[in-house]
Chain A
Amino acid sequence: MDFPPGDFLILGCVCPLVIVTPEVSMGRYVIRRILQAIPLLLLVSIFMFALIHLMPGGPDQVIFNPHLSAAARAQMRVRFGLDDPVPIQYLKWLRNALTGDFGFSFTTNLPVLTVLGQRFPATLELFGSALIFALIFAILLGVVAGVRQRSITDYTLTTVSYFGISMPVFLFALFGQYIFAVALHWLPASGITSVGYTLAPFDAFVDGVWHLILPMMVLSILFIAAWSRYLRSTMIDVVKQDYMRTARAKGVSPLGVLMRHAMRNALIPLVTVVTLDFGSIAGGAVITETIFSWPGMGQLFYQSLEARDYPILLAMLTLSAFFVVAFNLLADILYGVLDPRIRYA
């Protein structure tokens, strides 16, 4: 799967919104934010580039086979453009990056985007399913806990959320592996598929699901913890509002009050938080993927780090920053669209 060049992606995400939002002010706001985001991304890319190149053991010391002769080394340097001063290297890199050419991976010699593209689906599968699972759970838990404080659901939520934010993800992963894979043997310990077999399509699908469950749950715990807590506190604030009392004074049933009045107001801020968290998708779940040997972008990052594969590192850092900024923008826009007080200000 070919990974579309970065700039087309942002245009693709934002154009529909600019067209759809009828209010001129909203469109102007979006454009203004995009214009603000561009220098930010440039700064980030400069920052990353400088970091990579100023690191001890920088690019030129890395890829080369220690047995290479000095002449061959010099040739390689020219080939990779490592002889130019760093700012020039940056500009060259930037020019290439804007057209989607992030260079070649040091380890595999494939174009960086190709490598990223290979890894992206696995990360999407893991991240996407974790987000959806977490969202459903978080809403259920958060709403019920916020409405019925000091109930069992509330205590469950509090426990789960403290677990989620107090336990490092890798520890969760390790414990999860131990309990479910090693001790109980319910789920496979790692990998995305069972290696070395060619299974019938249905079996392959089931096999994939089994492999997905454990890493997905580990990854989603963090989100469930954070989101349900946030939703709970938002719900508590909303329930205290005067308009809830007005709704009850109109004779609306408790369910109606909850769904039409409380949740409508409480979910809007949550959308912002979820969108922001979604933005970290390109960073992937480095830790989770590494521990579960999940062949996604996170694992790629870790492997590239070990192998000092700088083009990939640079590309991943920049792209992930891009995603974060893009989703930040999206979150702001969504909030503006959903909250009538901002939309029809």
Chain B
Amino acid sequence: MGEYLLEVQDLKTYFKVKAGRVRAVDGVSFSVRSGERVGLVGESGCGKSVTALSIMRLLPKPAGEQAGGSILFEDEDLLSMPESNMRQIRGGKIGMIFQDPMTCLNPTMTVGKQISEALRIHLKLSNEGAKARAISLLDQVGIPAAHERISSFPHQFSGGMRQRVMIAMALACNPKLLVADEPTTALDVTVQAQILELINGVCHDFGTAVIMITHDLGVVAGMTDRVVVMYAGKVMETAPTEEIFANPLHPYTLGLLASVPRLDAVRQEQLKTIEGAPPDLLKPPPGCPFMPRCAFARAICKTMPPLTAVSGSMQHQKACWIDVTDPSQQAYAERRRQARAASQQAALAAFAETTTQSGDQATVPDDAEHAEKEG
């Protein structure tokens, strides 16, 4: 086996819809080493879940189609494998847990049966053997009275418990890789930490590599060795976790990190956002997808930058033409931001004028009033 357990190379996944093809994943590459924990980060709709489903070849048919690239798992291309081989890998070598444990478990089957199913298929255990192992798995994931709960139905568990069951199910056959698609998003905050700890612990014990898909940077900080930042179906930046928090080099990553509210920030300061909206993936604009929202953008950004290693660190790669650490670039970006803010306020003032002229009782946004007072 090569250096990597999993190598995603230029993956392209499109969805056929009436209006055309949605390019959900458009040239994504990253790799995972054995036992490594990789975080796949990005906002909703950036293609992280689709990447995960593509790895498992669980795309919804007939809409989803693999349009290119390869996924090497233990040096075999998953995308060109026959389905029967893929079925052995699913659950056996690669496990997956999903976002909503309520809907992801079969309501008419006992929890024990659902876990045993995987055991019987991949490890060829007998019914008794499977049941015994299922009980021990439930125990390991922290479900009390496992030998009784084995014959309970999913609706008899709480949300956190159900997710533990899912984890038990996914790790039942000791897979080499666990793909976790936003496993804590649907859970209470108090339970989130527990589940993450559990995943961390169990995967550490078994030596399972993890791909943690999330939009929550807090989860990434605590749980991952490396981070892959995605936007609009493409990888923007990838680096070891500490590096990406300490030294983000892509404007999008900068925006993401800046938007996280900090406890030590000045109070009553406006929250920072990334302006604009993600592009329409039916007709993605050519070049860098982040360009319309990027303060650093230049004419050259109309060509998509390749994912290149940053000087001084082979592990850290970014897909950007601009060097955001360069002070002249930063000044340029600042000028653009100010110009944008000014034109925004001018537009708001114009709007306020027209509405007060027409005698409407429209509430004028505070910004405009504020801006007008400030001149």
A246 touches B104 (CB 8 A): yes
Tell me which of A130-138, A173-181, A248-256, A275-283 binds B. A248-256
What residues of chain B lie closer than 8 Å to A248, measured between beta carbons? 58, 90
CB pairs A–B below 8 angstroms (24 shown): A241-B103, A242-B98, A242-B100, A243-B103, A243-B104, A245-B58, A246-B105, A246-B169, A249-B56, A249-B91, A249-B95, A250-B170, A251-B88, A251-B122, A252-B87, A252-B91, A253-B121, A256-B117, A264-B109, A339-B107, A340-B108, A340-B155, A341-B155, A344-B156
B151-203 interface with A by 8 A CB criterion: 152-153, 155-156, 166, 169-170
Minimal Cβ-Cβ distance residue in B for A345? B155
Q: Name the one of A249, A261, A339 contacting B109, with C-beta atoms under 8 angstroms.
A: A261
Q: Using an 8 Å CB-CB cutoff, how does the interface string of B51-95 with A read, 1 for contact, 0 for none?
A: 000001010000000000000000000000000000111111001
Instruction: Say yes or no: is A14 at the interface (Cβ < 8 Å to chain B).
Output: no
Q: Name the one of B100, B107, B169 contacting A250, with C-beta atoms under 8 angstroms.
A: B169
What residues of chain A lie closer than 8 Å to B106, measured between beta carbons? 243, 246-247, 261, 264-265
Instruction: Say yes or no: is B28 at the interface (Cβ < 8 Å to chain A).
Output: no
Instruction: Say yes or no: is A34 at the interface (Cβ < 8 Å to chain B).
Output: no
Q: Using an 8 Å CB-CB cutoff, how does the interface string of B106-123 with A read, 1 for contact, 0 for none?
A: 111100000001100110
A265–B105 CA distance with the chains assembled, in angstroms:
12
B58 touches A242 (CB 8 A): no
Minimal Cβ-Cβ distance residue in A for B156? A344
Instruction: Say yes or no: is A28 at the interface (Cβ < 8 Å to chain B).
Output: no
A252 touches B105 (CB 8 A): no
User: Known contacts A242-B100, A242-B103; is A268 also within 8 Å of B108 by CB?
Assistant: yes
B117-149 interface with A by 8 A CB criterion: 117-118, 121-122
A332–B133 CA distance with the chains assembled, in angstroms:
37
What residues of chain B lie closer than 8 Å to A92, measured between beta carbons? none
B155 touches A250 (CB 8 A): no
Q: How large is the interface on A (under 10, 10 to 19, 20 to 34, 35 or more residues)?
A: 20 to 34
Instruction: Say yes or no: is A260 at the interface (Cβ < 8 Å to chain B).
Output: yes
A341 touches B109 (CB 8 A): no
A245–B92 CA distance with the chains assembled, in angstroms:
15
Interface residues of A, Cβ cutoff 8 Å to B? 241-243, 245-253, 256, 260-261, 264-265, 268, 339-341, 344
What residues of chain A lie closer than 8 Å to B107, measured between beta carbons? 243, 265, 339-341
B121 touches A252 (CB 8 A): yes
A299–B367 CA distance with the chains assembled, in angstroms:
82
What residues of chain A lie closer than 8 Å to B152, measured between beta carbons? 344
B153 touches A260 (CB 8 A): no
Minimal Cβ-Cβ distance residue in B for A150? B62
Q: Name the one of A242, A250, A253, A341 contacting B153, with C-beta atoms under 8 angstroms.
A: A341
Minimal Cβ-Cβ distance residue in B for A246? B104
Instruction: Say yes or no: is B96 at the interface (Cβ < 8 Å to chain A).
Output: yes
Top 7 nearest A-B pairs by Cβ distance?
Answer: A251-B91, A250-B91, A251-B90, A242-B103, A340-B153, A250-B118, A243-B106
How far in angstroms is the closest Cβ of chain A from B224? Answer: 22
What residues of chain A lie closer than 8 Å to B109, measured between beta carbons? 260-261, 264
How far in angstroms is the closest Cβ of chain B from A243? Answer: 4
How far in angstroms is the closest Cβ of chain A from B213? Answer: 14
How far in angstroms is the closest Cβ of chain B from A108? Answer: 51
| Extra pairs beyond A249-B170, A265-B106, A344-B153 (4, CB < 8 Å) | A242-B103, A250-B90, A251-B122, A340-B153
| Best-buried of B87, B95, B104, B108 by chain A (most CB within 10 Å) | B108
How far in angstroms is the closest Cβ of chain A from B78? Answer: 13
What residues of chain B lie closer than 8 Å to A341, measured between beta carbons? 107, 153, 155
How far in angstroms is the closest Cβ of chain B from A124? Answer: 32
What residues of chain A lie closer than 8 Å to B104, measured between beta carbons? 242-243, 245-246
| Best-buried of A249, A253, A256, A264 by chain B (most CB within 10 Å) | A249
How far in angstroms is the closest Cβ of chain B from A137? Answer: 24
A241–B100 CA distance with the chains assembled, in angstroms:
11
How far in angstroms is the closest Cβ of chain A from B96? Answer: 4
How far in angstroms is the closest Cβ of chain A from B102? Answer: 9
